[in-house]
Amino acid sequence: MPVHLSDAHWETLHPPLLEAGTYAVDPEPCGPPWRPWEEIGAREAAARGIFAPSGNLADGPAGTVLLAPGDMRGTGLIAERTEGYCRGINGSGGPNLACLGCGLPVGSRIDDCGHWQVVRLLERAVVRLPSPPERPVLSWAELFADGGPEHRLSGFHDIPAGVALAHVVVAAGGGPVEVAPGPVGELLGPSLAALLPSGAGAMRLDLAGPGLGEPAAELVLVPVHPQTGEMWRPSGGAVAVPLEAALWAESAFPPHRTRLPAVGGLPTGVERDDPLPPHPPTRFRPSGKAFRHTLARTPAVREPWLRKIHDLMP
């Protein structure tokens, strides 16, 4: 499952969540009806894999199959179920796609602002058939041969960063963390300083993975393979903390920028980037919603110290 699904930017038109020709299966219930946490209770929520209050929870079908909208064929919208907020449809009224052959509802298309563009097919409507050979699974060396996978969702760095922040806090066990300077410090340093205590005995956090080796650190951010979902495993005794592969690649192999002047004029048809793009108006912050979403699905959140962090995270 793409970690980006743990959050979305409010009133923003999102790109497709998945690349064309790929799919994912969501094990959690999705869509209406919605039930308040007080009605579901801690026992039933824990059976779903949720261990901290998360507001209203979806009580729709589980096991929906996610696809890129452009990969759909032979379906059409159900006109009376095209509810949305302002610039699209969000599936809030139930399945809004029907089979053009038989007319039965098969799933929902979602593309409203503040939502990832995706199609969710009902599990009962899907039959897996033999297909051409799937894409070969790339080795770690092949995956990062040219600097890593392209970050299609580069405007949403805060979401995988929020997921990684939650995993770091859990791995630290409530103790202090010393963040390595550089990309890791910029990504998670201020948030960890605000969430965890400081002092002696801090665990060091650094990047590790293909092409980097294993630094002298107790906690290491490692990439998650985008095809298999498996983490890169360090051979030493460090605790591996998962980080979305494209964001890991950007942190491990930042683009090289030189301040030396170029020799000669600009090529024909190339315009000078003047003025330069403005700096971001605010400091980068990992997504608080993705952070809480991830913690809520970690059994350790039932410990008082971690539950307090979950509840206080803005």
Q: Percent of the chain having pLDDT more than 70?
A: 91
**Minimum mean pLDDT among 56-70, 85-99, 156-170, 257-271: which range?**
257-271
- Mean pLDDT of the 283-306 span: 95
What would the two tokens of residue 216 be? 């002298």
Among 11-15, 143-147, 269-273, 310-314, the range with the most confident prediction by mean pLDDT is: 11-15
* DSSP assignment string, 224-243: E-TTT-PBP--SSSPEEEEE
- Mean pLDDT of the 103-117 span: 95
What would the two tokens of residue 124 be? 């009962």
Q: CB-side exposure of 114: number of CA atoms within 13 Å?
A: 9
User: What is the rounded distance in angstroms from the CA atom of residue 136 to the CA atom of residue 131?
Assistant: 14
pLDDT tens digit string along 225-282? Answer: 988 899 999 988 899 999 999 999 999 988 655 555 656 666 676 666 666 666 777 8
The answer to whether 161 and 247 have CB atoms below 8 angstroms apart is yes
Contacts of 105 (CB under 8 A, 6+ apart): 78, 94, 95, 96, 97, 98, 122, 125
Please tell me the pTM assigned to this model.
0.89
